[in-house]
Amino acid sequence: MPFRSPDRTKAFPKADYVIVVAENLDDEHRASINRLLSHGATVVVVRELGAAAQWLAEAPPEDPGLVQVGDLEIHLGERRVRWRGRQLGLSRREVEIMSHLARPPGRASSFAEITERVWGTRTGVEPTVVHCAVRRLRRKLEEAQATVRVESVRGFGLRLVPE
């Protein structure tokens, strides 16, 4: 039985993924899969139902909007950060700093990169603005007793490291 085209995706509840079980895909089915992909869906194509069940059992999809560093969770789409399940009261800029430093964790980012990513420009933002935001972020991580820290890389920038 052919699957329905995603033309009415707004009528369907939001799903993490779509599984297509098909021996062969014709052009119409490929077009439907491409529409699903263009709407941001994760599509898994398998030849038989048993393979779909195995995929579900072994590989639950990761949330692309979630970045984890140890017990620290950064929910990108929701702009919130949790430490061991407890939400940290971070400002939008603080969340954006954390998001940038966490991908990938341990990688040093220059102050210019951070300024461009968080403030949207490489120029016009005083270094003290960045340093103040980082100081507030460090204080909030310390108050939460988080075992990750924002570490300074002398003469370059910052990195997020687990302790």
Q: Are 44 and 20 in contact (CB under 8 A)?
A: yes
Q: Token pair 């991908």 is at which residue?
A: 103
Choices 1.10.10.10, 3.30.470.20, 3.40.50.1370, 3.90.550.10: CATH for 66-162: 1.10.10.10
The Cα 79–Cα 91 span in angstroms is 9
Q: Are 5 and 35 in contact (CB under 8 A)?
A: yes
11-40: per-residue pLDDT in tens?
A: 444 455 677 788 788 888 888 877 776 666
Residues in the chain: 163
pTM confidence score: 0.59
Alpha carbon separation from 102 to 96, 98, 109 (Å, rounded): 10, 6, 10
Q: How confident is the model at residue 7 (pLDDT cuts 50, 70, 90)?
A: very low
Q: How confident is the model at residue 2 (pLDDT cuts 50, 70, 90)?
A: very low
Domain spans of the chain, in order of start: 6-58, 66-162
What average pLDDT does the segment 127-156 reach?
A: 92
The predicted pLDDT at position 9 comes to: 42
